């Protein structure tokens, strides 16, 4: 974990996040990750600030945790503030990373799985709306702008919540965290 924290853009960080991805595929590995001090935060930071490879490995590791037991890992992951980084990746990552980030975002939502839209359903709804507003020939461009605006607004809301949470912490609470 210390190596990953200190070397965010090196081959060591890429190999470390790859190792964490591998560990996240077994129950013992998931336990080791969650029991290591700051491991989930480090993975979230890799998703937000790491190299392309570290980002991809970090998303897969977090996704593996959440898919193995949403109830067990959801809150642990959410408390580290992954939403802005995942939203950025869902909009700007490689196609595979976009899909993984969207899947993880779906798992981190409050609503139960049966009440959620898939990302492709949301994209189709936005596209259909854009086609009605601007016509079919401009629908793709309008839909992209609408989705980008939704991501931007969601990131702003997440940041506001994080700032509110941070401002409610007193220095003694921050030191104990």
Higher-confidence residue of 121 and 118: namely: 121
Helices (H) and strands (E) in the chain, counts: 11, 0
Q: Any idea what DSSP says for residue 115?
A: G
Work out the angle between the directed axes of helices 136-167 and 83-92 (0-180°, nearest 10). 160
Using alpha carbons only, what angle is made at residue 33 by residues 114 and 161, rounded to the nearest 5 degrees?
55
Question: For position 65, what pLDDT does the model report?
Answer: 95
Whether the CB-CB separation of 36 and 76 falls below 8 Å is answered with: no
Q: What is the pLDDT of residue 13?
A: 79
Q: Is residue 13 within 8 Å of residue 61, measured between CB atoms? A: no
Q: Which residue has the higher pLDDT, 49 or 30?
A: 30
- Say yes or no to pLDDT of 135 above 70: yes
Which band of pLDDT confidence, cut at 50, 70 and 90, is reported for residue 155?
confident
Q: Check: CB of residue 107 under 8 Å from CB of residue 67.
A: yes
Question: Tell me, what's the pLDDT at 136?
Answer: 84
Please say whether the beta carbons of 148 and 91 come within 8 A: yes
- Residue 30, SS3 per DSSP: helix
pTM score above 0.75: no
Mean pLDDT score, 140-145: 82
Cα–Cα distances in Å, from 6 out to 45, 57, 113, 142? Answer: 11, 17, 37, 41
User: What is the mean predicted confidence (pLDDT) over 129-144?
Assistant: 82
> What does the mean pLDDT of the chain come to?
81
Structure tokens at 82: 């992954």
């Amino acid at each position: 974990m210390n190596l990953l924290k200190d070397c965010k853009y090196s081959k060591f960080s890429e190999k470390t996040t790859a190792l964490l991805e591998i560990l996240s595929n077994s129950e013992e590995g998931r336990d080791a990750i969650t029991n290591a001090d700051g491991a989930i935060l480090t993975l979230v930071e890799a998703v937000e600030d790491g190299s392309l490879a570290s980002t991809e490995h970090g998303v897969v590791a977090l996704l593996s945790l959440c898919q193995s037991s949403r109830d067990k890992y959801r809150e642990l992951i959410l408390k580290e503030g992954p939403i802005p980084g995942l939203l950025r990746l869902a909009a700007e990552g490689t196609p595979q990373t976009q899909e993984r980030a969207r899947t993880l975002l779906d798992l981190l939502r409050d609503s139960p799985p049966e009440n959620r839209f898939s990302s492709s359903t949301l994209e189709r709804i936005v596209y259909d709306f854009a086609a009605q507003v601007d016509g079919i020939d401009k629908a793709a461009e309008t839909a992209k702008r609408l989705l980008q605006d939704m991501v931007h607004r969601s990131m702003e809301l997440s940041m506001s919540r994080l700032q509110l949470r941070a401002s409610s912490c007193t220095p003694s609470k921050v030191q104990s965290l």
